[in-house]
Structure 1
Amino acid sequence: MDSHISTTPFGRRTLTLAHVATQADAKDRPPGKAVHKWNIFRAICTAKNRLGVTERALAVLDALLTFHPETVLTGEGLVVFPSNQQLCLRAHGMPAATLRRHLAVLVDCGLIIRRDSPNGKRYARKGRGGEIELAFGFDLGPLVVRAEEFEGLAEEVLAEDRALKLARERITICRRDICKMIATGMEEGVPTRRNGQGPADWMELHELYRGIAGRIPRSATLTILEGIASELSLLADEIFNLLELHVKSQNPSGNESHSERHIQNSNPKSLTELEPRSRKSRGAIVALDPDPKRMPDRTYPLGMVLQACPDIIDYSRGGIDNWRDFQAAVAVVRPMLGISPSAWFDAQNVMGEGEAAVVVAAILQRGEAISSAGGYLRGLTRKAEAGEFSLGPMLMALIGSRNREKQRA
């Protein structure tokens, strides 16, 4: 006489229609179908969010799979019957109560089926030849039936991750290009309006860029990132067209790169101030520290400065790895903020070159909170001269503000 296969759970656990559907699918699976259990397990791990299964539940499923002696799942002998103690050991010492909770998750997600014995124990009955005739435990049949579904979900997740990565890369490239093209346009005095059309000045373009970049969330969907990437791409194309039209309108013979009056700096480790200077600072040259690893006098560690003022990185050439890169980025930002050469020269004389550069980065980080960057810098210079200003509290306030924003997000 054929034995009846258990379809309901033992004890107070109830049977749901979802459980019935899972059992019906497992019953109708082709008898000759075979799948590699670890390939299916990897697909389930990839698509875990789509399936609603947790990482701890996956650890329990991993342990259950180890109790099946074969690598290939096929045929009818797919019931494993380990005790809770054995399962806890193979699940890296998981507590028994936690194990039971995650076993229920696997059953509810349709990954395994309970085949409970009359008394709820897990065991197998063997025939005279030693073959297992009837087993009570957990049926792995749904893994075989839904193998194509799991693999399809995993492919969808991987494709979405790739698209998300490409969108983020596109945004990063656009942000870098926009920042550097705006800096070039301001330094070279490229007009932004032609025939009465276009943005008023480069600051308007910069504000437009900051408005778009400010909408980038920390955790975003693909749709949101693709929309922002498209906006940044259009803005980058518009700025590039402005620079290209300006280059084409110039007389090639008047371009320094094509002139016999071309001046080449033989010392790449120095940076010459290109803006008009005040009488006091005229003829002064801002020389960068020849040793990029040496921290300027009275300045905090570079890592701490970048943690407090990360926006300065957008104006660097390929990132900020040392103080020379940091000072070069500040040289781009200073005229963009409207800080005059005389105010900059006075701040360097009072604070020191390194600390003055950090203050400019902090002013950039505060953004719209400071209406006049030049006046603000002059005020800090007067306080520093009177011994009433310290850079540390300013950096700590910026770091604290960023940490609070992260907590709110």
Structure 2
Amino acid sequence: MQTGNVTTPFGRRPAVLALVKRQLQTSDTKPYRPVEKWKVFRDACEARERLGLQDRALTVLDALLTFYPESELNCDSGLVVFPSNAQLSVRAHGITGTTLRRHLAALVEAGLIQRKDSPNGKRYAHRDKGGDIEQAFGFDLSPLLARATELAILAQEVAAERLQFRRAKEALTICRRDVRKLISAAMEEGADGDWEAIEDMYVGIVSRLPRNPDRHQVEAILDEMQLLRTEILNLLENQLDSQNMDGNAVQNGCHIQNSKPKSIHELEPSSRKEQGGAVELEVAPKAVAQPLAKPEQMKAFPLSMVLKACPQISDYGPGGTISHWRELMGAAVVVRSTLGVSPSAYQEACEVMGPENAAVAMAAILERAGHINSAGGYLRDLTRRARGGEFGLGPMLMSLLRANANSDRKTG
């Protein structure tokens, strides 16, 4: 058996230290347990993108494996195959010589095979008197045996990621359908609310989805779409509850003076200390005859959505960026000081809303700071309403997302 020897390529192909390193690693970690060659090949196909290989390279690898006579890759059987380029081309479905050489080099670069060149660069084998191979020159398949476990793990990771991607796309398709049909039903049946603005938000979210998105892009759009669906359902539920109460009151002979139900885009009133202050942030409408929500039940929103709705907060993060919640909460403390919010007001907000949601509220206040007379008074007002279950971050974030989208369309 001649696997594991360090050899340099024939002719003008240079020796690369990375190639030498792989040969040494293959030689040092033997012996290996035999593995079924086609299972290793299927794992390599599954992990093709991770290995940086094209489909034609796998066709060439398939052809190489057909020249290995055993069903299992085994060190004891010798792992060097020595077909000519003409033979390889036939078994690789007529691939041309130039393309064949390019994909053989790609397989070597990916660390799936090794070259074991003869003195003259030809591929052949020396046999003993009994016909057994003593020494062979060609392509060494020992890296496939050495990396069988690694390739199996890579294949499992790729399969799991593909499944997660497919589930995310399915969930997004269902969510898009729900939102589209709910908006259409609300418009056709005359439900109260600014449904044209909500529809614009839906169109804006869909327009940000690339033609060929990756999993992370799909999941980010899914988060936004699910939030929009939740807000639509909350609005419709509040109206239905209000209608039910009105019907009960009429049946009981009670007189109730109804005002127009508040929409999802209700403007946040000014703080008690800032009469006449113009404020444009939106908050959740007060539900009719709904039990007060506990502060700890406030919904958490994806960090990517918060940063998209409140991009200015990133300027206060380390190096002008925010990559996780801890950095956002640190930036919110800096913003608190910058806007003149007292430590006690921010601490109270953290206790009532939770530290993450308080940081989001601080980021939203920063985004509309030019329209708020007293940031501290405004935060205390939001905290008071959150304690009573009358305030939610969802409409506020959706308002900012819509405002940013409109600004991008104007500047674009």
Q: Does 1:18 align with 2:18?
A: yes
User: Is contact 1:167–1:226 with CA below 8 Å preserved after alignment?
Assistant: yes
User: Is contact 1:25–1:142 with CA below 8 Å preserved after alignment?
Assistant: no
Alignment partners' CA distance in 1, 2:150 and 2:143: 11
Partner in structure 2 of residue 287 of structure 1: none
CA distance change for structure 1 residues 180 and 4 in 2, over 3 Å: closer, same or farther? Answer: closer
**SS of residue paired to 1:250:** helix
Q: Does 1:160 align with 2:161?
A: yes
The number of aligned residues is 246
**SS of residue paired to 1:138:** strand
- CA-CA distance at 1:87 after TM superposition: 0.6
Partner in structure 1 of residue 27 of structure 2: 27
User: Is contact 1:216–1:225 with CA below 8 Å preserved after alignment?
Assistant: yes
The amino acid across from 1:93 in the alignment is: G
- CA-CA distance at 1:29 after TM superposition: 3.2
Partner in structure 2 of residue 226 of structure 1: 219
CA distance change for structure 1 residues 156 and 65 in 2, over 3 Å: closer, same or farther? Answer: same
User: Is contact 1:35–1:73 with CA below 8 Å preserved after alignment?
Assistant: yes
Q: Does 1 or 2 have the higher relative contact order (CA < 8 Å, sep 6+)? A: 2
The amino acid across from 1:138 in the alignment is: F
Where does 1:246-265 land on structure 2 (aligned, <5 Å)?
246-251=239-244
Alignment partners' CA distance in 1, 2:22 and 2:55: 21
Q: Deviations over 1:250-307 (max 9, x none)?
A: 248969xxxxxxxxxxxxxxxxxxxxxxxxxxxxxxxxxxxxxxxxxxxxxxxxxxxx
The amino acid across from 2:123 in the alignment is: R
User: Is contact 1:82–1:137 with CA below 8 Å preserved after alignment?
Assistant: yes
Partner in structure 1 of residue 36 of structure 2: 36
User: Is contact 2:3–2:140 with CA below 8 Å preserved after alignment?
Assistant: no
Partner in structure 2 of residue 142 of structure 1: 143
CA distance change for structure 1 residues 249 and 230 in 2, over 3 Å: closer, same or farther? Answer: same
- CA-CA distance at 1:206 after TM superposition: 0.6
Where does 1:108-257 land on structure 2 (aligned, <5 Å)?
108-192=109-193, 201-251=194-244
**SS of residue paired to 1:60:** helix
CA distance change for structure 1 residues 19 and 58 in 2, over 3 Å: closer, same or farther? Answer: same
- CA-CA distance at 1:80 after TM superposition: 0.3
Instruction: Give the gaps of 5 or more residues in structure 2.
Output: 249-412
**SS of residue paired to 1:99:** helix
- CA-CA distance at 1:39 after TM superposition: 0.9
Alignment partners' CA distance in 2, 1:6 and 1:17: 11
CA distance change for structure 1 residues 6 and 211 in 2, over 3 Å: closer, same or farther? Answer: closer
Q: Deviations over 1:313-367 (max 9, x none)?
A: xxxxxxxxxxxxxxxxxxxxxxxxxxxxxxxxxxxxxxxxxxxxxxxxxxxxxxx
Partner in structure 2 of residue 63 of structure 1: 63
Q: Deviations over 1:32-62 (max 9, x none)?
A: 4211111111111111111111111111110
Q: Which runs of 4+ in 1 moved over 3 A?
A: 2-6, 251-255
Alignment partners' CA distance in 1, 2:65 and 2:46: 17
Instruction: Give the gaps of 5 or more residues in structure 1.
Output: 193-200, 256-409
User: Is contact 2:4–2:24 with CA below 8 Å preserved after alignment?
Assistant: no
- CA-CA distance at 1:30 after TM superposition: 2.5
Q: Deviations over 1:8-49 (max 9, x none)?
A: 111111110121122112212332421111111111111111
Partner in structure 2 of residue 102 of structure 1: 103
- CA-CA distance at 1:123 after TM superposition: 0.8
**SS of residue paired to 1:64:** helix
User: Is contact 1:57–1:105 with CA below 8 Å preserved after alignment?
Assistant: yes
- CA-CA distance at 1:4 after TM superposition: 11
User: Is contact 1:53–1:105 with CA below 8 Å preserved after alignment?
Assistant: yes
CA distance change for structure 1 residues 3 and 107 in 2, over 3 Å: closer, same or farther? Answer: closer
Alignment partners' CA distance in 2, 1:3 and 1:31: 11
Alignment partners' CA distance in 2, 1:158 and 1:6: 34
- CA-CA distance at 1:248 after TM superposition: 1.9
Alignment partners' CA distance in 2, 1:34 and 1:4: 16
**SS of residue paired to 1:7:** coil
Q: Deviations over 1:169-194 (max 9, x none)?
A: 111111111111111112222222xx
Q: Deviations over 1:66-105 (max 9, x none)?
A: 0000110011400001111111110111112221121111
Partner in structure 2 of residue 46 of structure 1: 46
Partner in structure 2 of residue 91 of structure 1: 92
Alignment partners' CA distance in 2, 1:80 and 1:146: 18
The amino acid across from 2:45 in the alignment is: C
TM-score (norm 1): 0.57
The amino acid across from 2:38 in the alignment is: W
Where does 1:255-404 land on structure 2 (aligned, <5 Å)?
none
TM-score (norm 2): 0.57
CA distance change for structure 1 residues 84 and 3 in 2, over 3 Å: closer, same or farther? Answer: closer
Report the RMSD for the aligned CA atoms in angstroms: 2.1
Alignment partners' CA distance in 2, 1:165 and 1:91: 32
The amino acid across from 1:143 in the alignment is: L
Alignment partners' CA distance in 2, 1:109 and 1:233: 41
The amino acid across from 2:59 in the alignment is: A
- CA-CA distance at 1:221 after TM superposition: 2.2
Q: Deviations over 1:142-191 (max 9, x none)?
A: 00111111111111211111111111111111111111111111222222
Q: 62-71 vs 106-115, which deviates more?
A: 106-115
User: Is contact 1:26–1:141 with CA below 8 Å preserved after alignment?
Assistant: yes
- CA-CA distance at 1:215 after TM superposition: 0.5
**SS of residue paired to 1:133:** strand
